[in-house]
Structure 1
Amino acid sequence: MTVSTWAPLRRNAFRALWLAQFASNIGTWAQTVGAQWLMGDLGGTALQVALVQTATTLPVFLLVVPFGALGDILDRRQVLISGQVLMLAGAGGLMLLAGTGRATPVSLLGLLSLMAIGQALSMPSFQAIQPELVSREEIPQAALLNGVNMNVGRAIGPALGGLLIALAGPEATFAFNTVSFFGVLIVLTRWKRPSDHRPLGAEHITTAMRTGARYVASSPLFRRVLTRLTLFIVFGSGLWALLPAIARGPLRLDASGYGVLLGSVGAGAIGGAFVVPKLLQRMSKNRMVLFATFVYAGATSTAVLTQSFALVIVAMLLTGACWIATLSTFNATAQVLLPAWTRARALAYYQLILMGGQALGAVVWGAIADAYSLKVAMIVPAVAMVVLALAATRWLPLNDRPLDISPATYWEAPPEITDTAAGPVLVTVEWPVAPENEDAFIDAMQRVGRARRRTGATMWGLFRDTEQPGTFLETFTVATWQEHLRQHVERGTVVDQQNQDTARALAKGPAHVRHLLFAEPTKPD
């Protein structure tokens, strides 16, 4: 059965948060214009004007990973509320300082940085709660609608910001943004989110960060999404950095003309929300992303190959549709691959690449535009995108198989140890395997090994016994007994259980498990 593009909006919690976030996105983009304008009014240098962008992105880049871990060890609703409160405080402070004439370049940058910290705190948890707001089948549509939300806000916000500045000054943009955060806070405080299942309590932040990094490193399907995202973002982000230069240069447009281009991108994103589900009925995710990349590359190249304003508007419509199609597909694929216990910390790496890739792409393609020309800076990455997309579709295909990542407890109960901080822990599993099954067993155990590492193992290995033919010894180490208990009761999934069942079916008898604790030497008197 085909799921409607707008199906997630029928769910009360998703609809309320989506509408509140839409107002907030518009306010954020309007405030960006207001902050840049205010810095100019304050006599800021070119460097200080440029630092406005740095203040809004650098804290996100630096903090999104640890804050993603917080989203997994604390209640995500409270994390989101805390992030929104920080952003509200920053916007309110800017409104008061600008309104009373007490703003300075330093205070402006400081409050923008405070808001960026709030954004870093909110982003991973916001992505992680999407499967809690909609059904699994509606996740691709939810990702599409969230992408539309952001892109339409990007189109409307700057135009609204310019209008507010003309009518009442930069402080009006800060006031609008301040009010927009109240809507999100009201929705979050009224949302009755089910409590998290943590039988062993919350993890320590450093442990959670290490576990998140280990999960990403041991999840090939999720790493493919991150790699594909990197290739698309780095080579496709030049448009956002260079579109103002294209508008002012070859097209000779004024501010209103530039606004029309931005509006065309937003309109294209809305159109993409209708088109993408229909395309996915006719082609796989991999073919759809490849098709969207081809069209995106052609559209961005068109922007510098013609001086026809009408033709560039068409190109921007296609650009918006393809941008939303590609990123929403990556985002939805990532979300359905991640179990709830690690979703926020893993998606933090997604956000890290999304933000960092755009920043890197802007610098690289901006420098090439200065050194050579706008045409070179747009056409070279477009060609590279097409070549890399063809290679990635073949060698790094996105997962199209449904995976059951719901929680599952399938390990036998471990021995009772009172000192849960003891460790490292060495676990050995002796597997008896018939000779005709050995090759298949070794292949099956590679998937088991990745599951061990994803759930907490720091090292894993499979060894063949030279003295007892048909005997294999699996070994893995875990930092502490507490971490091993989490493997048992909190982190297993149905797909992990299925992989272990496959290995067990190839064994000719039950496996023998042993748990060993590191033997610390006795301290001298």
Structure 2
Amino acid sequence: MSTTSAASVPADAPVKLWTPLTYSLFRTIWLASVVSNVGTWMQNVAGVWLVTTLTTSALLVALMQTATSLPAFLLSMPAGALGDLIDRRRMLLFTQGFMGVVAFALGGLTLSGQVSALGVLGFTFLLGIGAALNAPVWQTIPTELVPRPVLPFAITLNGVSNNIARAIGPAVGGLIIAYYSPGYVFLLNGLSFVGTWVVVYRWRRVTETSSGPAENFTGALRAGLRYVRYSPAIYAVLVRTFAFSFGASAMWALLSVVAARRLGLSSGSYGVLLSWLGAGAITGAFLIGRIGHRLNFNQRALLGTLVFVGTNVSLALVPSEYWLFPVMFLSGVAWLMAMTSFSTSVQLHVPKWVQARVVSMYMLVFQAGLALGSVVWGELADRIGLVPALLGAAAWAGLSMLLALPFPMRPADNLDLAPANNWQAPEAASSIDPDDGPVVVMVEYQVALADQPAFRQAVAQLTRLRLRDGALRAGVFTDVLRPEALTEFFYVATWGEHVRQHHRFTRDDLAVQAQVRRFHRGPEPPRVTHFLAFPQTPNVEVPTTPENLQGQQ
């Protein structure tokens, strides 16, 4: 199977929805994901049904959803850090193999009649662990398989894969349960993991050699959180994602209640409503393929949110199920449009070294919005009524559109996030232990007084990049005797982290650095000085006492 490097797209070649499928490796992995997702949805239906037949406890049945989602909350960020630290192909082989073994074990125990309700919960929790470890890495695969111009459509197709599975999996799983046993569903799900494992095993991914000292796990987690904190474009997407999923969760949480209690529908009609939702999501992918270039990510997210305002109002007020069919269809279109906009925007703004970590944070924020929103809207429905709760969700969705003003989703078409590789280490660097530190770096500029207001604005952007890439503190000093002499400084915990900081600097960041340095008026380039703490020097201030002074004499 081909390697990870994706061929470039000719400048005059039109990019369409199906363009990613012309890349054989992406096509193979995408088909494997469809099969695996179908198996997962079959597993979900069979697991809940089996627990329902094994116990009379409603709590145990409800805990099936907890067993599926709790690992994602606990492990999403650690999984993202692991995905950036170790070879992604190996991690996928482990997670797919682990989930396959768990599914086969559950299937065997079920067919032999040796499984209990608690046992199903335990196996479901183990599958949730595998899925949580797998998800951040799986989400980043398209960036390695297709060129950057094709990436938005590759991510859209991933959303289509899940919605195809959502439409097929429960129906197929239900038929197998009706005529045979849930155990056969679990075995088929295990086979789907085996198929995915084989596809990933045949992927001859080119392993990129790490430049600079390796990160440890804890440092990698901190670096991911720091990157998001000092990246306005990513931070904006996370805020918008939480606001959207919080408001949209009302539909997912209360649709069955609307169908059963407000409209008096049967379970079959509820299933039809979900089918309309899935059909809309798949149609949304085609619409994005045809008209997506006319709307940027910000506009798509706003349009999707506006549709969900109407969705929540319709769920509260429409008089019959037939009115809800087109509402569910449009909701499916809006759901896919908004979610692919958020996901694509995140991945296009992130360099490869921190990609899985940022994607894991995006997934965590999305799940948090859904989970918290479901609790809030469900509680409101119990306390003040179903209709007021849905109208409240509609009001939230409408107000959340105002977040586009302070948190706009920025275009990423022209970003170049490849490593700049423009740093020449000091001659003594080879003799410095990566764990030595802290390190203080000072860059001295000569800036005319008239240019200093503009300089300060430019250097503020560079300071943000320093903090984003590893600095603990950063800023600018002015020489009180020579006001035109300005010194930028940043403080890094260790020499190894400082080396990694330079390897994280991208070609796009070079433009920010060039903007700062154009204000320099000295005859020589700005002078860069590295200060390293002496070994055994405590990194705290030592109070001046007579005893200390006597020891220094």
Match of 1:495 among 499, 508, 514: 508
Letter in 2 for 1:461: G
SS for the counterpart of 1:476 is strand
Q: Are residues 1:431 and 2:420 paired?
A: no
1:505 alignment partner in structure 2: 518
Return the TM-score normalized by structure 2: 0.91
1:422 alignment partner in structure 2: 436
Q: Are residues 1:444 and 2:458 paired?
A: yes
Match of 1:128 among 136, 140, 145: 140
Distance in 1 between the 2:492 and 2:307 partners?
Answer: 47
1:107-122 equivalence runs, <5 A: 107-122=119-134
2:479/2:485 contact within 8 Å kept: yes
Shift of 1:76: 0.8
Match of 1:471 among 485, 497, 501: 485
1:111-510 equivalence runs, <5 A: 111-200=123-212, 202-389=214-401, 391-401=402-412, 402-414=414-426, 415-416=428-429, 417-488=431-502, 490-509=503-522, 510=525
Shift of 1:522: 6.9
**In terms of mean alpha carbon deviation, does 338-347 or 460-469 score higher?**
460-469
2:157/2:285 contact within 8 Å kept: yes
Letter in 2 for 1:241: A
Q: Are residues 1:514 and 2:529 paired?
A: yes
Letter in 2 for 1:381: A
Shift of 1:431: 1.5
Match of 1:48 among 57, 60, 83: 60
Deviations 1:71-126 (A, max 9, x none): 00101111111111221122112111111111122221221111111111111111
Distance change >3 Å, CA 73–CA 209, structure 1 → 2: same
2:94 alignment partner in structure 1: 82
Letter in 1 for 2:219: T
Letter in 2 for 1:220: P
2:251/2:311 contact within 8 Å kept: no
1:84/1:184 contact within 8 Å kept: yes
**In terms of mean alpha carbon deviation, does 195-204 or 115-124 score higher?**
195-204
Q: Are residues 1:35 and 2:47 paired?
A: yes
Deviations 1:418-468 (A, max 9, x none): 311111211111121122221111111111112112221111111222221
Distance in 1 between the 2:462 and 2:280 partners?
Answer: 44
SS for the counterpart of 1:152 is helix
Shift of 1:188: 0.5
2:213/2:500 contact within 8 Å kept: no
**In terms of mean alpha carbon deviation, does 203-212 or 77-86 score higher?**
77-86
Shift of 1:393: 1.9
Distance in 1 between the 2:56 and 2:188 partners?
Answer: 23
Q: Rg bigger for which structure?
A: 2
Distance in 1 between the 2:249 and 2:163 partners?
Answer: 14
Deviations 1:40-97 (A, max 9, x none): 2211511111111111111111111011001001011111111112211221121111
Shift of 1:381: 1.1
1:72/1:345 contact within 8 Å kept: yes
Distance in 1 between the 2:128 and 2:81 partners?
Answer: 17
CA RMSD across the alignment? 1.8
1:60 alignment partner in structure 2: 72
Return the TM-score normalized by structure 1: 0.96
1:94/1:108 contact within 8 Å kept: yes
Distance in 2 between the 1:377 and 1:77 partners?
Answer: 45
2:80/2:359 contact within 8 Å kept: yes
Shift of 1:260: 1.4
Distance in 2 between the 1:347 and 1:126 partners?
Answer: 10
Shift of 1:165: 1.1
Shift of 1:283: 3.2
2:442/2:489 contact within 8 Å kept: yes
Letter in 2 for 1:168: Y
Shift of 1:211: 0.7
Deviations 1:279-313 (A, max 9, x none): 43333322222122112221232133223222211
Shift of 1:25: 1.1
Distance in 1 between the 2:38 and 2:366 partners?
Answer: 20
Letter in 2 for 1:237: S
Distance in 2 between the 1:79 and 1:320 partners?
Answer: 32
Letter in 1 for 2:518: A
Distance in 2 between the 1:250 and 1:302 partners?
Answer: 12
Identical pairs, percent? 40
